[in-house]
Amino acid sequence: MRRRAVPAALIVAAGFSAGAITVQEIRADGAADERAPTGARPLSQAVSGLPLPLRPAFTVGRPRLLDAKEARARFAPALEAVEARARPRFDAATVARLTRETEEGTTNVVLVLGEVRGPRGTWVHVRLPVLPNGRTGWVPRSALGGYRFVHTRLLVDRARFTVTLLRDGRPLLRARVGVGRPAWPTPAGNFYIRDKVSGFDDPFYGPVAFGTSARSAVLTDWPGGGFVGIHGTNEPQLIPGRISHGCIRLRNDDILRLARLMPVGTPVTIR
C-alpha cells in the first residue's frame, strides 16, 4: 500500500542554531529536520523588538551570618482599645486598659516581651505605659498590628547625668543630660520609646521630643498623666544636673543626633 502523504507543519523551535532562528519541519514520516529559513536574521536582531522582561518584585539578598552581639527588640502598634490581662486568658483579671492612641494623638505602641499560643488564639505579653511603672500584661494578638524590630537600646544614668544609645550592644552616641530634681525624680526601671514629636511652639522643649512609657509617680495630675519625655532645651547651660520635673533634657544638638539614630520602639533603661 502507498503511504498517504501528510501535510508538513512548521513550528518555530525554542532553540537557535548558528545565531539564526531555526525552523523545525515535521515530515510525513514523523521525522523532523531543521533548516534555517531564507533570509533568517541573527538572534540579536530577531529579539530586538521584544519587550523588556518585567522587573522582579524584590531581589533576594546575599545571606549573612548573624552577629553574636546582635540584639533585637519587638514592638507592635495597638489596633484597638483592649483590656490587658494578668494572664493570657479572657477571664483573667484586668491590669490596665491599652488605648489605640497616645495622649499626643500618635499611634500607641507596646514593647513585646513574648507570646503564647492557646486553644483560643495567641496572646502577647507586653510592657504597659501605666502606673505603677514596670507593669506588664497580656493582650490578644488580634488587638495588635504587625511586629516591628529595633536594634537600639537607650541607657540613662541618673548619677552620672549621661545617656548612651547602643545598637546591638555597641555605643552609637553618648551625651550629657539633665534629670529630675529630688522632689520630682526621674523614675528608674525598664521602659520604651512610645512616640516622637516635633514642631513645638514653645522653645522650652527644643526641636524634638520623645515620649516614653515611664510615668512620674508624683506628678500624676499633670496633663496627659505625667509621662516622662526626652527632649531638647532652651537652657543648655543647666546641663548636666538635676533640673527637671522628671523629664530627661539634652542639648539641642544632642537631641537632633539622637532623633536621627533612635527609632520609636527602642527599649529604655533608666538607672
Give residue-wise pLDDT tens across range 159-173. Answer: 999 999 999 999 999
- The 8-class DSSP code of residue 232 comes to -
Rounded to whole angstroms, the Cα distance separating 87 from 67 reads 34
Q: What is the largest CA-CA distance in the chain?
A: 116
pLDDT at 5 over 80: no
Sheet strands (E) in the chain: 9-17, 20-26, 32-35, 73-77, 82-85, 94-98, 109-118, 121-127, 136-140, 148-150, 152-157, 162-167, 170-180, 189-198, 208-215, 227-231, 241-244, 248-250, 267-270
pLDDT at 107 over 90: yes
Which is the catalytic residue, given 125, 151, 231, 245? 231
Beta-bridge partner residues of 20: 17, 42
Average pLDDT of the chain to the nearest whole number: 83
How many Cβ atoms from other residues are within 10 Å of residue 44's Cβ? Answer: 8
| 247 has catalytic annotation | yes
Instruction: List b or e across 85-97, with b for residues whose CB sees 16 or more CB atoms inside 10 angstroms.
Output: beebeeeeeebbe
Rounded to whole angstroms, the Cα distance separating 189 from 270 reads 5
* Long-range contacts at 68-71 (CB < 8 A, ≥ 24 apart): 69/168, 69/169, 69/170, 70/151, 70/168, 71/151, 71/153, 71/168, 71/169
DSSP string computed for 163-199: EEEEETTEEEEEEEEEEE-TTSPPPPEEEEEEEEEE-
Rounded to whole angstroms, the Cα distance separating 192 from 213 reads 6
- The 8-class DSSP code of residue 40 comes to P
- The 8-class DSSP code of residue 89 comes to S
How much is the pLDDT for 16? 36
Sorting pLDDT into bands at 50, 70 and 90, what band is 225?
Answer: confident
How much is the pLDDT for 262? 98
The tally of CA atoms less than 13 A away on the side-chain side of residue 100 is 5
Which is the catalytic residue, given 125, 151, 245, 247? 247
Cell numbers that stand for 118 in this block? 492557646
Percent of the chain with pLDDT over 90: 65
**Backbone φ, ψ for residue 52 (5° rounding):** -65, 150
Percent of the chain with pLDDT over 70: 72
For the stretch 118-155, pLDDT in tens is 888 999 999 999 999 999 999 999 999 999 999 999 99
The mean pLDDT value for 217-235 works out to 84
pLDDT at 32 over 90: no
| 245 has catalytic annotation | no
Rounded to whole angstroms, the Cα distance separating 168 from 155 reads 13
For the stretch 110-120, pLDDT in tens is 999 999 998 88
pLDDT at 38 over 90: no
CA torsion, points 100, 136, 259, 185, in degrees to nearest 10? 110
